[in-house]
Amino acid sequence: MNILVINAGSSSLKYQLIDIANETMLLKGLCDRIGMKGGSLTQKTADGRSFRIDEDMPTHKEAIELVLKALVDKEAGAISSVSEIGAVGHRVLHSGEDFHSSVVIDDEVVRICEKNAELGPLHMPGNIACIKSCREVMPGVPMVAVFDTTFHSTMPPKAYMYGIPYSVYQQYKIRKYGFHGTSHKFVSEEAVKYLGAEHSRIIICHLGNGSSISAVKDGKCIDTSMGFTPLEGLIMGTRSGDIDPAAVEFLRVKLGMTPEDTVQYLNKKCGMLGISELDSDMRVLEKAISEGNEKAALAVEAAAYRIKKYIGSFAAALGGVDAIVFTGGIGENSSYMRRLVMEDMDYLGVVFDFEENEKRMDGLHVLSDPESYVKVIVLPTNEELSIARETAALVSAAPAMA
Binding site for ligand AMP (CB under 6 A): 208-209, 237, 281-283, 286, 328-330, 333-334
In 3-state terms the chain splits into helix, strand, coil percentages (rounded to 5) of 40, 20, 35
Task: Report in angstroms how near the CB of residue 336 gets to ligand AMP at its nearest.
Answer: 7
Task: Report in angstroms how near the CB of residue 281 gets to ligand AMP at its nearest.
Answer: 4
Residue type (1 letter), 168: V
Residue among 232, 219, 205, 170 nearest 334 (CA): 205
Residue in 19, 148, 223, 322 annotated catalytic: 148
Task: Report in angstroms how near the CB of residue 300 gets to ligand AMP at its nearest.
Answer: 10
Spatial strand order of the sheet with 2-8 comes to 50-54, 40-45, 24-32, 12-19, 2-8, 85-92, 143-147, 103-104
Task: Report in angstroms how near the CB of residue 363 gets to ligand AMP at its nearest.
Answer: 15
List Cα–Cα distances, 249 to 236, 273, 301, in angstroms.
21, 21, 26
Nearer to ligand AMP among residue 19 and residue 383 (C-beta) = 383
Q: What is the DSSP string of 129-160?
A: HHHHHHHHHSTT--EEEEESSGGGGG--HHHH
Nearer to ligand AMP among residue 60 and residue 206 (C-beta) = 206
Nearer to ligand AMP among residue 333 and residue 391 (C-beta) = 333
CA dihedral of 278, 284, 286, 291, whole degrees rounded to 10: -70
Task: Report in angstroms how near the CB of residue 44 gets to ligand AMP at its nearest.
Answer: 17
Task: Report in angstroms how near the CB of residue 312 gets to ligand AMP at its nearest.
Answer: 24
* Spatial contact of 391 and 91, defined as CB atoms under 8 Å apart: no
Active site residue 106: no
Nearer to ligand AMP among residue 94 and residue 180 (C-beta) = 180
* Spatial contact of 303 and 337, defined as CB atoms under 8 Å apart: yes
Nearer to ligand AMP among residue 208 and residue 230 (C-beta) = 208
Paired sense of beta strands 85-92 and 50-54, if any:
unpaired
Nearer to ligand AMP among residue 154 and residue 209 (C-beta) = 209
By beta carbon distance, the residue nearest ligand AMP is 329
Distance from C-alpha of 378 to C-alpha of 188, rounded to nearest angstrom: 12
Read off the DSSP letter of residue 121: T
- Residues with a known catalytic role: 148
